[in-house]
């Protein structure tokens, strides 16, 4: 027994030693191929680890021995993972799969874990061996590869393939929500020259900077992609109008012509841009891009450094509009604006009781541009504030000047655009202009439109009261064309209603007579003065003479005239005779 026992002990020791040696060899073998390896007992306690595992885990070997393997499992793993592994080992003797390990510094890392049963005695497993592959760098590589597949390496912009994805996606949204998308294809004009003369290295630097400038110009929701070479594609979702696309294209062009400083070189290039609009020019990515390409070649053919829409009509209207806008900005600086004055004539005495100041834009090459063209543009671009204030100031100054010359004082009416009226400093500006010019407020009248007053009734009521307190008159212009609810007209401190010209023009028609009569009786009830606009014929005048209309403004008595002509009229100060105007 003793012997037996002794023998068995010897055998046991020998077996254990053999086992340990085998294990050691295994550990070494894994170590040799750089694979992290560890051995655990059936309870999950670590029996041995190799160096690669210590470097993955961040622990020293001694810190790991006797520690539970489960303490190296990250919280990012699903809750039941440990149980799943234990059951698989119990039933099948092995498990492998993706897990998150936890390093000593608590960082989680993605890994591949492969565990299998090691030595057995009878049916009892004595230990398990586990191989761990750290996926961190593989995952990073994967991300890198993905990025390489979607992004241009040089500029970091989305490449052609990601651009297609985005365009496809943007188009499907736009189809659903029915909005317009603009696709801009931009090609540099002198890139080949730069490349050929200064080398590819400078060419590359140039492309990187062009990409940066493009990115700086667009909004976050827009996509700028590099199509290859010196070609870039820009997707503008929800562009609104072709005008916006044009203005962004122009911004690109303006920005790209500025010098590039690359190493010791100062480089000048320009860009040609082709623009297509969804849904007008096509509704799939290929067609839109193809047409943008055609448009871009037209831009090149027409002297480069410009943009072209694929659709000729858009081209025409947008370009006209856009050049108008550019010219308009310049006109403000150069004071190409002036005022004309049109008399308002008392219907009984035929004497001038007031005048309306009307803006004129005289362009040195293009001649007169009518306000119907540029006022809406001024509204849209915000230039109306500057322009409107100028018109107000100039009308007041001129009127005061005439009065100072001893001429009979009359009231000057100035048109105020809705945006001007709604701006918070509007009242201050009126006050300031009156003070600066010295004009008595009773000689100023503001013409506002129906839409202006009904837009924000409560504020308007307060402002109109304030104006009345100041002594400034207020007139509702183009009355009858808006939607003013007659209900609250009586709440406004208004002095005058101007019946819109359209009713006067058709006054021979029965229904228009009814409208005019209705407006006049309403105005009378509310104690407003009534002015009829656009009176051209004797017939119109006679009709109005039989109503309670107070004043006439129209070609029958006088067209708008220059300040010199108005001066002469004031000097004469005679009643108007009037002649029918034949258009």
For ligand C2E, the closer CB: 117 or 429? 429
Distance CA(180)–CA(169), nearest Å, equals 14
Three-state DSSP string of 54-100: HHHHCCCHHHHCCCEHHHHECCCCCCCHHHHHHHHHHHHCEEEEEEE
For Mg ion, the closer CB: 281 or 447? 447
- State in angstroms the smallest separation of the CB of 289 from ligand C2E: 42
Cis link prior to 279 (omega < 30° from 0)? yes
For ligand C2E, the closer CB: 318 or 547? 547
- State in angstroms the smallest separation of the CB of 480 from Mg ion: 10
Nearest of 196, 200, 204, 206 to residue 266 by alpha carbon = 206
For Mg ion, the closer CB: 152 or 478? 478
Q: With CB under 6 A as the contact rule, which of the stretches 298-306, 310-318, 436-444, 551-559 interacts with ligand C2E?
A: 551-559
Question: Using only C-alpha atoms, what is the Rg of the chain?
Answer: 42
Q: Which residues of 114-140 are buried (b: 16+ CB within 10 A; e: fewer)?
A: ebebbbeeeeebebbbbbbebbeeeee
- State in angstroms the smallest separation of the CB of 475 from Mg ion: 8
For ligand C2E, the closer CB: 128 or 374? 374
For ligand C2E, the closer CB: 138 or 370? 370
Helix (H, G, I), strand (E, B) or coil at 306: coil
Residue 128 main-chain phi, psi, to 5 deg = -125, 145
For Mg ion, the closer CB: 306 or 417? 417
Count of beta carbons in the 10 Å neighbourhood of residue 42 = 14
For Mg ion, the closer CB: 73 or 398? 398
Based on the shown chain and the rule CB under 6 A, indicate whether residue 412 belongs to the binding site for ligand C2E.
Answer: no
Residue 480 main-chain phi, psi, to 5 deg = 105, -15
- State in angstroms the smallest separation of the CB of 504 from Mg ion: 11
CB 186 within 8 Å of CB 233: yes
Based on the shown chain and the rule CB under 6 A, indicate whether residue 370 belongs to the binding site for ligand C2E.
Answer: yes
Distance CA(494)–CA(348), nearest Å, equals 23
Helix (H, G, I), strand (E, B) or coil at 411: strand
- State in angstroms the smallest separation of the CB of 562 from ligand C2E: 13
CA end-to-end span of the chain: 138
Based on the shown chain and the rule CB under 6 A, indicate whether residue 274 belongs to the binding site for ligand C2E.
Answer: no
- State in angstroms the smallest separation of the CB of 226 from Mg ion: 53
366 — alpha (psi -120 to 50), left (phi > 0) or beta? alpha
The 8-class DSSP code of residue 581 comes to -
Site for ligand C2E in 422-481 (CB under 6 A): 447, 477-478
Based on the shown chain and the rule CB under 6 A, indicate whether residue 232 belongs to the binding site for ligand C2E.
Answer: no
- State in angstroms the smallest separation of the CB of 363 from ligand C2E: 15
Site for ligand C2E in 21-50 (CB under 6 A): none
Q: Tell me how many residues contact ligand C2E (CB under 6 A).
A: 24
**Binding pattern to ligand C2E, positions 135-164, x when CB under 6 A?**
------------------------------
Q: With CB under 6 A as the contact rule, which of the stretches 181-189, 303-311, 326-334, 533-541 interacts with ligand C2E?
A: 533-541
CA angle at 313 for the pair 308 and 314, rounded to the nearest 5°: 55
Based on the shown chain and the rule CB under 6 A, indicate whether residue 281 belongs to the binding site for ligand C2E.
Answer: no
Residues that bind Mg ion (CB under 5 A): 415, 447, 477-478, 533
Helix (H, G, I), strand (E, B) or coil at 540: helix
Residue 555 interaction partner, one of ligand C2E, Mg ion, none, beta carbon < 5-8 Å per kind: ligand C2E
Q: With CB under 6 A as the contact rule, which of the stretches 117-125, 302-310, 315-323, 549-557 interacts with ligand C2E?
A: 549-557
Among the listed residues 167, 391, 433, 541, the single contact to ligand C2E using CB under 6 A: 391
CA angle at 486 for the pair 482 and 491, rounded to the nearest 5°: 110
Based on the shown chain and the rule CB under 6 A, indicate whether residue 343 belongs to the binding site for ligand C2E.
Answer: no
- State in angstroms the smallest separation of the CB of 447 from Mg ion: 4
- State in angstroms the smallest separation of the CB of 448 from ligand C2E: 9
Which stretches of 426-547 are DSSP H helices? 426-437, 450-455, 457-470, 501-505, 510-525, 538-545
Based on the shown chain and the rule CB under 6 A, indicate whether residue 369 belongs to the binding site for ligand C2E.
Answer: no
Q: Find tokens 């308007």 and name the residue.
A: 460
422-426 contact pairs (CB < 8 A, 24+): 422/452, 422/455, 422/456, 423/385, 426/463
Based on the shown chain and the rule CB under 6 A, indicate whether residue 16 belongs to the binding site for ligand C2E.
Answer: no
Q: Which residues bind ligand C2E (CB under 6 A)?
A: 342, 358-359, 370-372, 375, 388, 391, 415-417, 447, 477-478, 501, 533-536, 553-555, 560
């Amino acid at each position: 027994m003793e012997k037996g026992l002794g023998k068995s002990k010897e055998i046991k020791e020998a077996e254990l030693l053999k086992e340990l040696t085998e294990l050691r060899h295994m550990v070494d073998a894994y170590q040799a191929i750089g694979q992290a390896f560890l051995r655990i007992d059936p309870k999950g306690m670590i029996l041995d680890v190799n160096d690669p595992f210590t470097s993955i885990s961040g622990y020293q070997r001694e810190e790991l021995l006797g520690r539970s393997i489960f303490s190296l499992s990250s919280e990012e793993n699903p809750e039941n993972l440990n149980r799943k592994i234990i059951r698989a080992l119990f039933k099948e003797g092995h498990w492998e799969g993706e897990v998150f390990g936890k390093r000593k510094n608590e960082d989680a890392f993605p890994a591949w874990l492969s565990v299998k049963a090691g030595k057995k005695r009878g049916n009892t497993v004595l230990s398990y061996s586990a191989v761990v592959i750290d996926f961190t760098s593989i995952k990073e590589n994967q991300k890198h590869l993905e990025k390489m597949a979607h992004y241009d390496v040089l500029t970091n912009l989305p490449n052609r393939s990601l651009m297609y994805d985005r365009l496809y996606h943007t188009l499907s949204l736009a189809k659903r929500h029915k909005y317009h998308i603009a696709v801009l294809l931009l090609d540099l004009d002198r890139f080949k020259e730069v490349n050929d003369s200064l080398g590819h290295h400078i060419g590359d630097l140039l492309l990187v900077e062009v990409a940066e400038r493009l990115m700086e110009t667009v909004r976050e929701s827009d996509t700028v992609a590099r199509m290859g070479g010196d070609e870039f594609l820009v997707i503008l979702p929800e562009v609104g109008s072709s005008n916006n696309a044009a203005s962004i294209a122009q911004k690109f062009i303006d920005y790209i012509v500025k010098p590039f400083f690359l190493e010791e070189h100062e480089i000048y290039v320009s860009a040609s841009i082709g623009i297509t609009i969804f849904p007008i020019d096509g509704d799939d990515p290929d067609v839109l891009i193809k047409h943008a390409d055609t448009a871009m070649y037209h831009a090149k053919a027409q002297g480069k450094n410009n943009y072209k829409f694929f659709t000729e009509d858009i081209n025409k209207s947008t370009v006209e509009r856009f050049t108008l806008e550019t010219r308009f900005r310049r006109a403000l600086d150069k004071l190409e604006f002036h005022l004309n004055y049109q008399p308002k004539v008392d219907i009984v005495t035929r004497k001038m009781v007031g005048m309306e100041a009307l803006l004129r834009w005289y362009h040195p090459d293009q001649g007169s541009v009518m306000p119907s063209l540029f006022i809406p543009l001024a509204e849209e671009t915000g230039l109306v504030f500057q322009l409107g204030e100028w018109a107000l100031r100039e009308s007041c100054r001129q009127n005061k000047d005439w009065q100072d010359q001893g001429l009979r004082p009359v009231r000057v009416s100035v048109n105020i655009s809705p945006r001007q009226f709604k701006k918070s400093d509007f009242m201050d500006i009126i006050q300031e202009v009156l003070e600066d010019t010295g004009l008595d407020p009773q000689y100023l009248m503001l013409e506002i439109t129906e839409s202006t007053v009904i837009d924000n009734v409560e504020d308007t009521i307060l402002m109109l009261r304030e104006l009345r307190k100041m002594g400034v008159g207020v007139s509702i212009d183009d009355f009858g064309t808006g939607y003013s609810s007659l209900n609250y007209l009586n709440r406004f401190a208004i002095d005058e209603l101007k019946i819109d010209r359209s009713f006067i023009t058709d006054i021979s028609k029965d229904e228009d007579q009814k409208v005019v009569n209705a407006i006049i009786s309403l105005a009378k009830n509310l104690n407003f003065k009534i002015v009829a606009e656009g009176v051209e014929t004797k017939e119109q005048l006679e009709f109005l003479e039989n109503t309670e209309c107070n004043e006439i403004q129209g070609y029958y008595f006088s067209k708008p005239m220059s300040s010199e002509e108005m001066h002469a009229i004031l000097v004469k100060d005679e009643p108007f005779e009037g002649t029918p105007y034949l258009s």
